[in-house]
Amino acid sequence: MRPRILIPVRSIYRADMLPEQVINTLEEFAEIEVVLDPVNLSRDEYARLFANKDAVLSTWNTPLIDSQVLEQANELKIISHAGGEVRPFISPEILSLKPDLVLCNASNVMAKPVAEHTLCVTLACLRNLFHLRQWVKEDENWWEYDKSKNVSLLEKKVGIVGLGQIAWEFIKLVRPFDVELWVFSRHLSDQEATRKDLRKSSLEEIFSSCDVITISAASVLQNRLLIDARLLGMIKPGAVLVNNARGMLIDEPALIRELETGRFSAAIDVTDPEPPAADNRLRQLNNVLLTPHIGGPTPAQRIWMVNEAVDNLKAFFQGGTVRGIIDKKRFSYMA
């Protein structure tokens, strides 16, 4: 019997996530049911969709899969998530309630675009590209720009807060700049730090010493406001702070107060809440590069996530290797 796969998806992602080629690939080995905009369903209606389904291909911004859903999901064997972050969509309780359930995600293909964006905005802020672009429009003195606004990444101290897949991909990209890599991670052993040529550091060391600080910690409860006013006050003049993780990790009012001093610059791709209010100071400060949460896969790259999720489903039902497995331990520290 062919496996039965449920695919709940928002209409806004339908074209990117489920083009004809993906549907055709799935239908080669499975019976599929696509449900558009499941957020419009009641919890009971949503749960009933899972009855007699062998698998779920989940995507962004769909209702939570929790114990109520599992009560109906009597045949469910695998959830393959076409994304990286899972907590908003899948409750960790399901791994205890259904220990034999396979849960996997596509974070391995999502990490590279986020790392790319992190490097891109880091360089843009260090070189002050947007300031200088405006300067050459307004000032005829081509050679007399502020030299402090043209800084290289080469041989700088780079601090990384959180050491997940995105951070590892960023490390690959930034190493050719001959940087020192200072890392804060609750899961990095001294042995691995030595082996990977990383300087295991405290948050205080990173914020007081590094020229670039990138935030890639998971958006879990224990990390809420991890970056507080005390740490933000330690950032050295001319440094760059990059947040491509989640807005809830940083004390935003404190961040704004520090940025208003002009002491350092920041590249902010995420806020809490999103979007920021129209009068939020982050929208107006000249030393802030604010982007609308574009650090993940570009629209053209979203198919990478879906292909990974489909490949995992195909591998599961045809005896292959499923990538991106999420067990209880991994779930405990991931977003």
Determine which helix (DSSP H) or strand (DSSP E) holds 102, and give its type and residue range. strand 102-105
Per-position b or e across 228-251, b if 16+ CB within 10 A of its CB: eeebbebbeeebbbbbbbbbbbbb
Long-range CB contact pairs, 192-200, < 8 A, 24+: 196/171, 198/171
C-alpha–C-alpha distance, residues 169 and 165, integer Å? 6
C-alpha–C-alpha distance, residues 31 and 53, integer Å? 10
| Whether the predicted model's global pTM rises above the 0.85 cut | yes
Determine which helix (DSSP H) or strand (DSSP E) holds 288, and give its type and residue range. strand 288-290
C-alpha–C-alpha distance, residues 275 and 272, integer Å? 8
Per-position b or e across 163-198, b if 16+ CB within 10 A of its CB: bbbbbebbbeebeebebebbbbbeebeeeebeeeeb
Digit-by-digit pLDDT tens for the chain (335 residues) are 899 999 999 999 999 889 999 999 999 999 999 999 999 999 999 999 999 999 999 998 999 999 999 999 999 999 999 998 888 899 999 999 999 999 999 988 889 999 999 999 999 999 999 989 988 888 778 888 889 999 999 999 999 999 999 999 999 999 999 999 999 999 899 999 999 999 999 999 999 999 999 999 988 888 999 999 999 999 999 999 999 999 999 999 999 999 999 999 999 999 999 999 999 999 999 999 999 999 988 988 989 999 999 999 999 999 999 999 999 988 888 77
Rounded to 10°, the helix 107-126/165-174 angle is 50
3-state secondary structure at position 58: strand
Nearest to 33 by CA among 3, 13, 12: 3
- Go through the domains of the chain in sequence order and give each one's CATH number: 4-109+299-333 (3.40.50.720), 111-290 (3.40.50.720)
C-alpha–C-alpha distance, residues 131 and 133, integer Å? 5
Question: For 239, what's the count of Cα atoms within 13 Å in the CB-facing half-sphere?
Answer: 23
